[in-house]
Amino acid sequence: EDFLRRLTWEKNLWLVTLHNLEHSLGLRSYTLAMNHLGDMTSEEVAASLTGLQLPPRPRRNSASQPRSRRAGDIPEALDWRDKGCVTEVKNQGACGACWAFSAVGALEAQVKLHTGSLVSLSAQNLVDCSGMYGNKGCAGGFMTEAFQYIIDNGGIESEESYPYTAQNGTCRYNASARAASCSRFLVLPEGDEAALREAVATVGPVAVAIDATLPSFFLYRSG
């Protein structure tokens, strides 16, 4: 096991070194670095960290579509961190709860925009309590099902009152500790970058699903 870990680590280190050399020559726009995933293969990262489970029929829970803007009206650059709408970076550990973190991240921004307060919401609340919507806790889930749970449940707790444990647990939602609620959500057309760009610019941070199993992603550093 140690020998295989070492081989994987050396392979990833070589990839990082070669990639960063190409970056120094202007051939790459971003840099890589070894991190706590450096001794893992893409298959191991997929097995331990990714948890996207596509629902059989995507939900549509929006009373209206956002009004489309002309491309010239959308800013070329926008960082919601500068507007205080993004909480600290979180570590999901060896639990496939990416879907839960994605959902609470988008909702946290909306809470900030509507109330002026930035509150870190509980991903564990979703991991433990949204199973009846098809989510499987650390074995995966989907953001739309998380949003639907929050709507039907009447709210979600904060990270402070319902902290993350990186493992499945018994639902212990406490309505008196509700930190946020959600009335509706909108599912953007799959693969529509223009719609995504407009939503990020005009609505706020968006919950998206991507392939995070390539070393060029999980060893990303900057750029």
Task: Give the DSSP letter string of the chain.
Answer: -HHHHHHHHHHHHHHHHHHHHHHHTTS-SSEE---TTTT--HHHHHHHH--B---SS---B-SSPPPP--GGGS-S---TTTTT---------SS--HHHHHHHHHHHHHHHHHHS----B-HHHHHHH-GGGT--GGG-B-HHHHHHHHHHHT-EEBTTTS---SS-------GGGEEE----B-PPPTT-HHHHHHHHHHT----------SHHHHTEEE-
The model carries a pTM of: 0.79
pLDDT (tens place) for every residue of the chain, 223 residues total: 789 999 999 999 999 999 999 999 999 999 999 999 999 998 888 777 665 565 655 555 554 455 565 656 899 999 999 999 999 999 998 898 999 999 999 999 999 999 999 999 999 999 999 999 999 999 999 999 999 999 999 999 999 999 999 999 999 999 999 999 999 999 999 889 999 999 999 999 999 988 778 899 999 999 9
How much is the pLDDT for 50? 64
How much is the pLDDT for 2? 86
d(CA 52, CA 36): 22
How much is the pLDDT for 70? 60
Domain boundaries along the sequence of the chain: 49-211
3-state secondary structure of 190: coil
The CA-based angle 88-94-95, given to 5 degrees, is 80
Number of helices and strands in the chain (H, E): 7, 4
Q: Which of 118, 120, 123, 129 is nearest to 152 (CA)?
A: 129
Which 8-state DSSP code applies to residue 19?
H
How much is the pLDDT for 122? 99
Per-residue tokens: 113: 């925009």
- CATH superfamily membership of 49-211: Cysteine proteinases (3.90.70.10)
